[in-house]
Amino acid sequence: MPKRDEGALAQRATYKAFHMVSTRWADNDQYGHINNAKFYEFVDSAVNAHLLIANALTESIGLVVDSGCRYTSSLKFPDVIEVGIKVDAIGTSSVTYGFAVFKRSVDVPAAIGHFVHVYVDAETRRPKPLPARLRSVVENLRAG
């Protein structure tokens, strides 16, 4: 897979939706900052919240098949985080999301990255074409 130019993802205006996350004391690790694995939880929650609020996950579920993240600075409790999301590519059954994790009111992201969902039938776990509602919602997140 070719390396992504994630430098272009760093501009706040690039992202089409933002979701706020309140950090918790338990998010800090023994080094006094939010552990890198928590960033993936924040992003996963932001994307799924966006899709659930839009009622776009009624016919299939998204499985993560690829992801990557570059950390540029640390965050810690009690920071409030804004997760920016956008869509970089839409396939027949897949969506490539771009994300950035910002400390509230800061323009430089603490992390930038991507992940790919393949949407599958909940029972068979086999890929299926994106349902019309889901396709419409992710089209509205498409990067300019």
Q: Is the model's pTM score more than 0.75? A: yes
Report the number of distinct structural domains present in the chain. Answer: 1
- Note whether residue 109 is domain-resident: yes
How far the first Cα of the chain sits from its last, in Å, is 23
- Note whether residue 63 is domain-resident: yes
Q: What is the DSSP string of 13-77?
A: GG-SEEEEEE--GGGB-TTSSB-HHHHHHHHHHHHHHHHHHTT--SS-EEEEEEEEEEE-S---T
User: Which domain, by its residues, includes 129?
Assistant: 6-139
CA gap 47, 17 in Å, rounded: 9
Over its length of 144 residues, how does the chain's per-residue pLDDT go in tens digits?
Answer: 444 454 444 688 889 999 999 999 999 999 999 998 999 999 999 999 999 999 998 888 999 999 999 999 999 999 999 999 999 999 999 999 999 999 999 999 999 999 999 999 989 999 999 999 999 999 999 987
- Note whether residue 144 is domain-resident: no
What CATH number did the domain enclosing 129 receive? Answer: 3.10.129.10
- Note whether residue 95 is domain-resident: yes
CA gap 58, 30 in Å, rounded: 39
